[in-house]
A and B are shown apart, each in its own frame.
Chain A
Amino acid sequence: MIQNLQYKYLVAGLIFIASTLLGYIALSQYIPSSGKVDAFSALSSSKPIEKEFNKELQTRIAEQKLAAAGTYELQKIFNAPDGDVLDSKGNAVKLSQYTSGKYTLLTFFYDMCADAKGCPYAFTTMHTVKNYLEKTPALSKQVRFVNISFDPERDTPMMMAGLEKRANRNNKDFSIDWRYLTTKNVDVLIPLIDAYGQNVDIALDKDSGKRTMEYPHVLKIYLIDPKGVIREIYSTTYLSPEMLLNDIETLMIETEKGV
């Protein structure tokens, strides 16, 4: 019996390690290597190419029939809720320190998420936004990304540290501040996701009725202005890097105008 249990734990552990490695390999293809960031660094000082980038972006925005940035107003939906979270060093901090002072894209996720229209899709979209913004250091410094796990059991601060390191690899002065946060436990998490309106289910094994590692959820990304007000909510059905960039720029123009 004990041997069986040990065997099960060993298999489960191996599966966990293998899936983590596979996940890393799968995601690492989307992550810029150091050479690429250097190239971007060169690009950011090269105005003609910067213009080319902008032209490419504007073309994509036009293709999506999006109104020009600054010509529309984003609703003030609700104040970004506060809560207790753990940073990647395990420090207990208030979420509010990551939801004000910058233009913030915040999303809930879990590292084991394998739903192509869920967390991985959010990650690639946000990474594209990051790559665009980092062409213009003055812009990228004003933007922050926040990922909060709704799987505190597996997504420990140590795990968050690994993800954060990966996301912020080759950080330069102009890089976007990308934070990975978790919570002490599910009791702390629930009020937070409830406040954000981010419902999530636990998938149960149909035979045993026990929890699986899946947390089915409708993907949401929240755009929060520097005052800590949620100004847009995106979901899989309505999400593109161009839309995010356009909305961030709209908020920046709003700030410039002193609205």
Chain B
Amino acid sequence: MYLTDKFPKLKALTKAVAMAVVVGAATQMPSAIADETSCSPFTPLVKGQEDFVYVWTLGVKGLGDESDKLVTVDANPASKTYGKVINKLSVGGRGEAHHMGFTDDRKFMWAGALDSNKIFIFDVATDPSKPKLVKTLNNFVAKSGLVGPHTFYAIPGRMIVAALSNAKDHGGQTGMAIYTNAGEYVSTTMMPTTNGGDGFGYDAAINPNKNAMLTTAFTGWNNYMMDLGKLIKDKDAMKQFGNTTVMWDYKTMKPTKIFNTPGAALEARWSYAPGDNWAVTTTALTSEIYVYKQDDHGEWQQHKVGTIGDPAKIPLPVDISLVSSGKGLWINTFMDGTARYWDMTDPLHPSEVYTKKIGEQVNMVSPSYDGKRVYFTTSLLSNWDMKGKSDDQFLKAYNWDGKDLKLAFEIDFYKEKLGRAHHMKFQARDLKTLQPLQASTANKLNFASNP
């Protein structure tokens, strides 16, 4: 204050910079405001109609080519092939395909396999309708000591790979590895085991505006690769689930607060709506919703804000997804195949306002940026999916008018001999108006040269 009063030009500069920051913050909002299938806020979002839905699909023995594969579905209603599989890219073998994440420029997509520990990097920009496998990382275990690459979360120039397990005992002690976008290993941060930490891990989500990262906790390879029926009967194994969540200083990658969150908290989601300062997760085994919000002193506090279904029946809440306004949350419960929409207008007092049975089982949910389209897939883990006729495997697209889900199209992944449908990501890129500089070989002749 003193300086700016004394030196008007400094004041002007301060104002100009402040304005630039505000403009920057405002213009970046579209890329940081929405969930859009829970992308990192460092990744540009698809704000209009998505052209394609990529489905990371688990290969099934005796079905098609039996391999894990990236399936591309045309999702643009204006297209002649709307609702159809337009490409499938097998990666060779089955490794327990699970989740995916875009790099910070949305030009590449990383996809992991929880059993083989392979990480596949696809080019999804050069021709988004035909992703190309450009690199396979086979060094995840050797470099990080971790097992089960789960979450792929973009940060500037790098990718956080949050794991589920470790190479020593395949239990739940785990951590997060960081790679460059080029696929070079950088570092590993272990989940805390002191000050109340149990060392378990699962998802990671960052709020850049708060310099905060929330991580959750699931279970190790020994459990997630075990048959679910057998696991439930194994008392010792059932004790090996995470019971904590951790708020981190994202910049320093150090824990700032560890919370007791019983029952394996899974997906972590931030509301990026302007002014919001809260995150949400749900627990798989106890069916609770937890919200993390700063108190008046800026300290993060955990609030148990709701119960999903009847916990005694273990509905098994799995994927969740916030709508872009932060005022609604989709929650899937795997065991009853039901999608549930919760009103989050008051995040500390949410309420369930809509339910719809999607299939015999349902796992992932991905709403579009505008919330008008919602996509569902089915597979949880190859050894946890339902058996026999209940083993639905599909992608279903719905239109959502705020009151009801109306089916737009569905693809039976077994009938199409594809496999188990798991994680989804959207892509849209108009190649007629946008070309990578790298792809402009023919145009290079048009560029002038400096002497």
Contact = CB atoms under 8 A, between A and B. Distances in A.
Contacts of B20: 30, 116, 120-121, 124-125
Contacts of A187: 444
Interface stretch (A17-25, A62-70, A138-146): A62-70
B211 interface: yes
Interface in B381-417: none
B427 to A, nearest CB: 15
A148 interface: no
Contacts of B42: 235, 237-238
Nearest to B435: A202
A237 B249 contact: no
B313 to A, nearest CB: 41
B273 to A, nearest CB: 15
Contact of B443 (A125, A211, A217, A239): A211
Contact of A218 (B2, B105, B212, B434): B105
A186 B7 CA distance: 44
Interface stretch (B137-145, B179-187, B360-368): B179-187
A90 B434 contact: no
Interface residues of A, number: 76
B152 to A, nearest CB: 16
Most buried by B among A56, A65, A156, A211: A65
Contacts of A35: 9
Given A36-B9, A204-B433, A218-B44, A237 B31 contact: yes
Nearest to B44: A218
Contact of B180 (A194, A197, A239): A197
Interface residues of B, number: 60
B41 interface: yes
Contacts, number: 176
Interface stretch (B11-19, B53-61, B114-122): B11-19
B3 A53 contact: yes
Interface string B33-45: 0000000011010
B438 interface: yes
Contact of A30 (B17, B24, B249, B444): B17
Interface in A174-206: 182-187, 189-190, 193-194, 197, 199-206
Interface string B429-447: 0001111111010011011
Interface of A: 29-30, 32-33, 35-36, 39, 49, 52-53, 56, 64-67, 71-73, 75-78, 86, 90, 115-117, 120-121, 124-125, 127-128, 131, 150, 152-153, 156-157, 182-187, 189-190, 193-194, 197, 199-206, 209, 211, 215-218, 220, 222, 233-241, 243
Interface of B: 2-3, 7, 9-10, 12-13, 16-17, 20-21, 23-24, 27-28, 31-32, 41-42, 44, 104-105, 107, 125, 155-158, 178, 180-182, 184, 186-187, 208, 210-212, 249, 251-252, 254, 298, 432-438, 440, 443-444, 446-451
Given A36-B9, A52-B2, A153-B447, 14 more contacts: A36-B10, A120-B20, A124-B21, A125-B20, A152-B448, A152-B450, A203-B433, A203-B434, A204-B434, A211-B443, A233-B158, A236-B27, A238-B155, A240-B21
